[in-house]
Amino acid sequence: MFIGGTVISSVEFHGNMSLVIFMSGCPLTCRYCHNVELFEDKTEWSLEKVKEEIDSSADFLDAIVISGGEPLVQTDAVIEIFKYVRELGLKTKLDTSGIYPEKIRELLNLKLIDYVSLDVKTTFSKYRKITGSNVGFKVKKSMELINSNPDVHLELRTTYVPTLHTKKDILNLVDEIEGDIYTLQQFRNKNVLDPALEKVEVPNPHDLRKIAEEIKPYFDGQVKVKSAEFGEQII
């Protein structure tokens, strides 16, 4: 399996100390992607090495988060890791773009996930503009599959890029999505896939909060804003 690294985090799975494992590889070309180094990373880890990494911190961990890249490029590896995590009695979280609904179905059927953070890039019909691929219908299917499982907590999140999104886009998007949490994330203009976006100003967190306050009445769940200045804020 190809893994770009790990980090201990108290924020990736709210209320839980987590080991985050970054899986390499992703078929999308999201212009604002800030994990560019994971696209072609071929650092190979054995399952035993992953287990050792988990075991070394297990005494103070509550959960394991598998992120990326797009982890489900390596579905078999994700399943192997999460099966081991289940043996340890830890919680599991998957960060995904949602472009592989059948692989998500497999993980749900195996009861291997407690929490999913689903990156919803924009309204489902406008995906090509952001990702380079017309895969919005697949993301919608993934959302529906996760929502059909009452034991899995679903967070939907969108990174707001001023030149790629408008407030109207976010309002339209909220009409299309359903989940437990919707998080509006602040775009970061460092180390992005499209160099042109390095010149785009980072959104003001107060402006993001205003958008979040406006969409809150239309989303049947918790609304958050995530920014470098203030961390996670519940609206």
Mean pLDDT over 9-29 rounds to 91
Binning pLDDT at 50, 70 and 90, where does residue 31 land?
confident
Domain ranges for the chain? 3-234
Mean pLDDT over 192-211 rounds to 89
Residue 169: pLDDT over 90: yes
pLDDT tens, 97-112? 999 999 999 999 999 9
- Average pLDDT score, the chain: 93
Binning pLDDT at 50, 70 and 90, where does residue 218 land?
very high
**pLDDT value for 38:** 67
Q: How far apart are CA 18 and CA 117, in angstroms?
A: 14
Sheet of strand 231-234: strand arrangement: 3-13, 16-23, 63-67, 91-96, 115-119, 153-160, 181-186, 222-227, 231-234
184, exposed or middle or buried, with CB in 10 Å at 0-12, 13-18, 19+?
A: buried
pLDDT tens, 142-154? 999 999 999 999 9
- Is the CATH number 3.20.20.70 carried by domain 3-234? yes
Which residues, 6+ apart, have CB-to-CB distance to 85 below 8 Å? 54, 64, 91, 92
pLDDT tens, 43-78? 899 999 999 999 999 999 999 999 988 999 999 999
